[in-house]
Structure 1
């Protein structure tokens, strides 16, 4: 019986090729979008799936309150390790101290590389469940050891066995390779861990790390934990919540709250606001999931509309079948079989579309998604997907068409009914409501991105590069390198800084100043810079003066930004002192000599943070900032800079970043969302237009004789076009009135996540309405004008 259903379904598809092409094409597009989004969502939800026990792994987080505002993050003080081990050690299978991810230089023979990784305590590789390819699992046992990822080992040693060989690290230490581990896949938190070095080496090589053993206020470290088998994440979090506040009076005023942040929430739920978890990338998962569902729904609506619109053509078939004994259930199965066949063909085409577009999609979304050929779960999900789509698309037409009375149909008295077209009109309204809402949403997303992009940056990022200086080889050589670079004619100015131009790496407090409010808890972005910092960035001095090498006292001078001036409550800050409030071992006071224009160093969607720029007395920078010669090409300048660099640092790889590119990365996530949303919106509109095109074609065919009579009686092409178009335009206008308040409500809620945000202008909604109407007119006009220009003789000669 089922074979017979499919045979009849096939014949109907062949009989109406245009109708079938629109149906299959629309469904294929909708299913392709849904498949792509589904693969993207699965990739997002499977983040950190490399770690088999991720439900037991967590990072220690800390919330602190400054003047009523609570900030939350993973930065913790070193003494917390001992407190957790001594007081709560039974709750943890592993407790690992770790550095931040660092870029270090690795050298073997003539090969120099820059790679990122971490210093970790001995059990770190076991906590990360690394797959050891060569060497020993306990690879961090010796202080002078290093573990390498496979890709890093291959790059350094080629085909040679790396175990036991010595790597020169940042031209400072010789470390022996004790293990090589499989690279952690891209969609995991530690995928950029190219090396792991023992924590003991971190202590031995850095005095400030050793000195931090008892410094509760120095939040410069990370702790990762793996819970004991019988421990519960929430219970342990509650136990350790007040451990820092209880053990250290100096930081108790900030109400530090310690808790465990589970690995399975790091990626999708990593945003905190005033100490509370407020989501994160999960909003994009929901967004694209909803878009995928609606795009598929639009394609299903096309199928429903075209199937029911052709009801009168199928009426006699239904009447004859019923008169010879077919039951309604059999007719429903027949129409569902047709739907199933259409969906199967659409799925095959959709799969081909996905295969052809997957590389481009990966490039846009910055993913490495592959088509899951070998996944049984995927094919089972696809079968369920096909069945559900066939059921959704075919249920209404099946129920509607199978309800015809055979007596009325065969007597020729069958009428579709006064309200027979109402469901189709409702579905068209739904289609264009979704499409118009998508248009409005996409425009507002792009507006928000451009709003932040057009925000004054505060410095000149064009032609500015930053060169990392992560080695003691650079210490004491700033003046020499500045002279060399300036003399090369490739650089017009140079400075050094302790943080990259587009980041804040350090925050400090513990100062007093004249007029400081009682109980005020300061939190200042802290950057140590050379005297030429403002000049190299073209920072504008709005009050006072810049650093000067002519004044020896400037070694204890600072610049502050405009936000810091307001934050510190200083109307006339020039000459004011920032004093260390540590009475036992105070640092010399810092004198404010100038105020610089605010520069964006964090998110361009957030307010600028209060910052101070301190003269770097010890020439211990992390970056050189080079202003390239604008009268020469960038490639020519870079080649000269690299040559000069290599003359002085032959054992260190030359790496650099254009600051404007680094700044552009701050918009990358939103731009990807905006671009993908725009593509999906265009496809949604195309699917809606396909349905509208099919409906217009059918209506024109249905009213062929009426159009012929009107033409004979003197109707113009415009009259006929107006007759066929006005009903569809009315439906689209209704859609616009529904879509506008819905999209306003949703996008207004989305914009609330951005303190620095665009205002939704009225023209955005007008543009969406005009666009929808224009698309409708273009779609309908083709068939309407074609019908209006047809020879009326051809339609009337059978009468």
Structure 2
């Protein structure tokens, strides 16, 4: 019986090649797109799950409101971790990480430095919390002693080749020697710590032993014992605040925790599951830039949409062509076929077509995966050897075939043989027409939503690229690691300034990109009350910073070498002036502390107010910022005049190699730095546009097939109309009118849904485009144009047919 079903199904598919092609191609595109998106979603959801006990590891986050600023931090105070371990037996182990940023590194017997981009200090308990295997070294001794380091397998090969690194030394930043005490496996690419290749011993790091409950600098992780409820444990943070932080606040501000809270400020700690960090955390001081669960949801919905559109195409075309199979059903029933046998026959055809589509979809996905990886910046491998993948894929193919073919199968099999053979049954019943029209509307509702989404995402990305930031990021060359020049930084700056294409230069570790941040609390002189404090970033800059960045002064002046008193001067931005509440800040005095231990107070005089400029992501409002004069040899930034940039870079590199032999020359451009901040949005935009285009193509395939069927069904009517004098335009309008109505209904339904979804997406940005009515009008017009172009081809073809041919069989 099954063999007979398969044979007849194959004959039917071959007989109607055009519709078979439309079905297989449309369904395979939908399945291939759905497969690629599913691989992306699974990849994103797999982060940090490879660690043993991942379900028991949590990170402590901090949310702070103080001094007019709200901070959402991925870090905690230095004493918090081991205080929790001491006070609460529910905790099995804790570990802290503190980012050091990039460092220059080399073997002590070599002269050439290499750059390590992500170096972290870590407690010796790191390997007890995170199950990263040590390939060499003792897990109990690694990182236990001061000035020891654990490096990754990658770094071991980079610095030591095939030699064992244990006991050998590395010189960091040309100053400090560390002994390698362990080699760890490369941390999984599917971890929020994937870029960490070098861990330095926290032991001996002065800032890790200050017992300072106010300075938040340490990524803090907790490994709970079996059976501990993390949500319930969070309640203990309140008693910890009362016991420890209250005492620190009284010493620092002379105010209790309750008094601080009554003024509107707060300090809250919370626990975040390790496996949630990559997709559900975008806090200050993340170990690495994370993903976004919002985009995972968006792509999951797009995958469902694509598959739904492909299935809708199948159902539409199969139902529309039911009249052509009606006599077959009548003959089969007259010869004794049961309805169940007919249903099985039609479902067999549907499932066979689905598996053909699945095979083609696999091929398309396999070939497209490298392009998709490049687009999504992923390294997803096609899971050929995964048994579960094939089981799920085959099951999905079967389910899609059954679901997509269910309505046609049940619709066709219910025909009464006598009425069918006598031509007394209405083969194009109202039910099938309503369903088909409803499915077309559904397809174009999705298409309208995706067109709107594509347009809004494109406009927002363009807005980010073109928005005036308050500084000029163009033609800015950043030379990293200026400290490698030692005491020749100023000489290097002056020599590069003598180049014809260089206009100005500044030396600073702080640049107006979201990569640099340092928060400090300031008070008006004589007013050290907790409700008078202002929390703002403090950037150490030189005399040329304001000029080189082309910042605008709102009042006062920038730093000037002719004013010796500027050594204790401070320039604030308009946001800081607003929080301070000064109508005229110039000449006012504020003070802060040089270190977190409150040992060195420094009084500053406000000499200028710079106009607000964006130094953080456009997702955030501009916060309070201050500039002070201080030697900071992180980077040297050169503003070029717009000449031959590659030639200028080559000249700068030649000077670098002359003045800093053996030190790596690393540079970047500020506009690229800025673009990197929004790289995830750019990737999402490109992926979204790609799949939106594919969904529209699939929808058009279905519409093309339906218009062909409609034209075929009304061939004799068209012939009669032409004989009676109807023009080609009249006939095209007649055939297109019913589809146009459906598209208009889809626009009315899809537009408000798209408005809600894109408004929600834009709410993640403090600065964004406004949703205007014309965006929806353009999307609707585009949907109409696409639909009419698709339908018109078949309509014009039918209208141009010789009426003699269409009427001669009558």
TM-score (norm 2): 0.92
CA distances 1:94-119 after superposition (whole Å, capped 9, x unpaired): 21122125211111324421112211
Q: Which residue of 2 aligns with 1:236?
A: 233
User: Displacement of 1:515 after TM fit?
Assistant: 9.2
Report the Cα distance in structure 1 between the residues aligned to 2:342 and 2:41, rounded to whole angstroms.
Answer: 38
CA distances 1:636-685 after superposition (whole Å, capped 9, x unpaired): 22222222223333243221221111101122122222221111111111
Q: 1:260 pairs with 264, 271, 277, which one?
A: 271
Residue 568 of structure 2 is aligned to residue 556 of structure 1: yes
Q: Which residue of 2 aligns with 1:188?
A: 191
TM-score (norm 1): 0.93
Aligned residue for 1:176, secondary structure, equals strand
Report the Cα distance in structure 1 between the residues aligned to 2:802 and 2:789, rounded to whole angstroms.
Answer: 22
CA pair 242-538 structure 1, distance change in 2 beyond 3 A: farther
Report the Cα distance in structure 1 between the residues aligned to 2:628 and 2:94, rounded to whole angstroms.
Answer: 36
Q: 1:121 pairs with 120, 123, 127, which one?
A: 123
The correspondence of residues 52-91 of structure 1 with structure 2, limited to 5 A, is 52-66=52-66, 70-88=70-88, 90-91=89-90
For the 8 Å contact 2:68–2:534, the answer to whether it is kept is: no
Residue 43 of structure 2 is aligned to residue 31 of structure 1: no
Q: 1:437 pairs with 449, 463, 467, which one?
A: 449
Aligned residue for 1:458, secondary structure, equals coil
CA pair 128-647 structure 1, distance change in 2 beyond 3 A: farther
Report the Cα distance in structure 2 between the residues aligned to 1:650 and 1:91, rounded to whole angstroms.
Answer: 54
Q: Which residue of 2 aligns with 1:218?
A: 215
User: Displacement of 1:18 after TM fit?
Assistant: 0.2
Report the Cα distance in structure 2 between the residues aligned to 1:144 and 1:443, rounded to whole angstroms.
Answer: 54
Q: Which residue of 2 aligns with 1:139?
A: 142
Report the Cα distance in structure 1 between the residues aligned to 2:122 and 2:683, rounded to whole angstroms.
Answer: 34
Report the Cα distance in structure 2 between the residues aligned to 1:604 and 1:753, rounded to whole angstroms.
Answer: 9
User: Displacement of 1:386 after TM fit?
Assistant: 0.8
Greater CA deviation, 60-69 or 587-596?
60-69
CA pair 100-381 structure 1, distance change in 2 beyond 3 A: same
Aligned residue for 1:268, secondary structure, equals helix
User: Displacement of 1:298 after TM fit?
Assistant: 0.6
CA pair 255-712 structure 1, distance change in 2 beyond 3 A: closer
Residue 595 of structure 2 is aligned to residue 596 of structure 1: no
Report the Cα distance in structure 1 between the residues aligned to 2:639 and 2:173, rounded to whole angstroms.
Answer: 25
Aligned residue for 1:370, secondary structure, equals coil
For the 8 Å contact 1:511–1:581, the answer to whether it is kept is: no
Q: Which residue of 2 aligns with 1:99?
A: 98
Report the Cα distance in structure 1 between the residues aligned to 2:753 and 2:189, rounded to whole angstroms.
Answer: 37
CA distances 1:283-320 after superposition (whole Å, capped 9, x unpaired): 21111111111111111111111111111110011111
Report the Cα distance in structure 2 between the residues aligned to 1:474 and 1:75, rounded to whole angstroms.
Answer: 32
Residue 179 of structure 2 is aligned to residue 176 of structure 1: yes
CA pair 296-169 structure 1, distance change in 2 beyond 3 A: same
For the 8 Å contact 2:525–2:603, the answer to whether it is kept is: no
For the 8 Å contact 2:67–2:521, the answer to whether it is kept is: no
Report the Cα distance in structure 1 between the residues aligned to 2:68 and 2:620, rounded to whole angstroms.
Answer: 18
Greater CA deviation, 457-466 or 245-254?
245-254
CA pair 202-469 structure 1, distance change in 2 beyond 3 A: farther
CA pair 785-393 structure 1, distance change in 2 beyond 3 A: same
CA RMSD in angstroms comes to 2.4
User: Displacement of 1:282 after TM fit?
Assistant: 1.7
User: Displacement of 1:37 after TM fit?
Assistant: 0.8
Q: Which residue of 1 aligns with 2:156?
A: 153
Greater CA deviation, 433-442 or 97-106?
97-106
User: Displacement of 1:605 after TM fit?
Assistant: 2.8
Q: Which residue of 2 aligns with 1:324?
A: 335
Residue 495 of structure 2 is aligned to residue 484 of structure 1: yes
User: Displacement of 1:337 after TM fit?
Assistant: 0.8
CA distances 1:427-470 after superposition (whole Å, capped 9, x unpaired): 11111111111111221122222233332111111121323338
CA pair 445-168 structure 1, distance change in 2 beyond 3 A: same
Report the Cα distance in structure 2 between the residues aligned to 1:641 and 1:417, rounded to whole angstroms.
Answer: 77
The correspondence of residues 769-780 of structure 1 with structure 2, limited to 5 A, is 769-780=780-791
Residue 793 of structure 2 is aligned to residue 796 of structure 1: no
CA pair 392-676 structure 1, distance change in 2 beyond 3 A: same
For the 8 Å contact 2:69–2:535, the answer to whether it is kept is: no
Report the Cα distance in structure 2 between the residues aligned to 1:730 and 1:532, rounded to whole angstroms.
Answer: 64
For the 8 Å contact 2:68–2:535, the answer to whether it is kept is: no
- Gaps of at least 5 residues in structure 1 are 204-208, 274-278
Report the Cα distance in structure 1 between the residues aligned to 2:355 and 2:424, rounded to whole angstroms.
Answer: 36
For the 8 Å contact 1:245–1:255, the answer to whether it is kept is: no
The correspondence of residues 266-285 of structure 1 with structure 2, limited to 5 A, is 266-270=277-281, 281-285=292-296
Q: Which residue of 2 aligns with 1:724?
A: 735
Aligned residue for 1:524, secondary structure, equals strand
For the 8 Å contact 2:568–2:604, the answer to whether it is kept is: yes
For the 8 Å contact 2:143–2:203, the answer to whether it is kept is: no
CA distances 1:332-366 after superposition (whole Å, capped 9, x unpaired): 11111111111111111111111121111111111
CA distances 1:167-190 after superposition (whole Å, capped 9, x unpaired): 221111222323222212322111
Aligned residue for 2:99, secondary structure, equals coil
Aligned residue for 1:214, secondary structure, equals coil
CA distances 1:40-62 after superposition (whole Å, capped 9, x unpaired): 11011111122132111122222
For the 8 Å contact 2:553–2:611, the answer to whether it is kept is: yes
Greater CA deviation, 448-457 or 423-432?
448-457
Residue 18 of structure 2 is aligned to residue 18 of structure 1: yes
Residue 640 of structure 2 is aligned to residue 628 of structure 1: yes
Q: Which residue of 2 aligns with 1:8?
A: 8
Greater CA deviation, 142-151 or 777-786?
142-151
Residue 373 of structure 2 is aligned to residue 362 of structure 1: yes
Residue 577 of structure 2 is aligned to residue 565 of structure 1: yes
Report the Cα distance in structure 1 between the residues aligned to 2:528 and 2:568, rounded to whole angstroms.
Answer: 20
User: Displacement of 1:687 after TM fit?
Assistant: 0.7
User: Displacement of 1:65 after TM fit?
Assistant: 2.4
Aligned residue for 2:617, secondary structure, equals coil
CA pair 214-515 structure 1, distance change in 2 beyond 3 A: closer
Greater CA deviation, 248-257 or 635-644?
248-257
For the 8 Å contact 1:78–1:215, the answer to whether it is kept is: yes
Greater CA deviation, 747-756 or 591-600?
747-756
Report the Cα distance in structure 1 between the residues aligned to 2:641 and 2:69, rounded to whole angstroms.
Answer: 44
CA distances 1:500-549 after superposition (whole Å, capped 9, x unpaired): 43134111114125899982442112111111111121212232111111
For the 8 Å contact 1:323–1:406, the answer to whether it is kept is: yes
Report the Cα distance in structure 2 between the residues aligned to 1:329 and 1:163, rounded to whole angstroms.
Answer: 73
Greater CA deviation, 229-238 or 699-708?
229-238
Greater CA deviation, 322-331 or 170-179?
170-179
Q: Which residue of 2 aligns with 1:206?
A: none
Residue 718 of structure 2 is aligned to residue 707 of structure 1: yes
For the 8 Å contact 1:511–1:580, the answer to whether it is kept is: yes
Q: 1:494 pairs with 489, 505, 515, which one?
A: 505
Q: Which residue of 2 aligns with 1:378?
A: 389
Report the Cα distance in structure 2 between the residues aligned to 1:577 and 1:389, rounded to whole angstroms.
Answer: 72
Greater CA deviation, 68-77 or 754-763?
68-77
Greater CA deviation, 490-499 or 118-127?
490-499
Aligned residue for 2:220, secondary structure, equals strand
Report the Cα distance in structure 2 between the residues aligned to 1:605 and 1:455, rounded to whole angstroms.
Answer: 13
Q: Which residue of 1 aligns with 2:244?
A: 247
Q: 1:422 pairs with 419, 425, 434, which one?
A: 434
Residue 751 of structure 2 is aligned to residue 755 of structure 1: no
User: Displacement of 1:750 after TM fit?
Assistant: 2.7
Size of the alignment, in residue pairs? 783
Report the Cα distance in structure 1 between the residues aligned to 2:238 and 2:660, rounded to whole angstroms.
Answer: 47
Residue 698 of structure 2 is aligned to residue 687 of structure 1: yes
User: Displacement of 1:375 after TM fit?
Assistant: 1.1
For the 8 Å contact 1:242–1:257, the answer to whether it is kept is: no
Aligned residue for 1:100, secondary structure, equals strand
User: Displacement of 1:404 after TM fit?
Assistant: 0.8
Report the Cα distance in structure 1 between the residues aligned to 2:598 and 2:381, rounded to whole angstroms.
Answer: 60
Greater CA deviation, 750-759 or 761-770?
750-759
Q: Which residue of 1 aligns with 2:364?
A: 353
Report the Cα distance in structure 2 between the residues aligned to 1:410 and 1:16, rounded to whole angstroms.
Answer: 22
Q: Which residue of 1 aligns with 2:252?
A: none
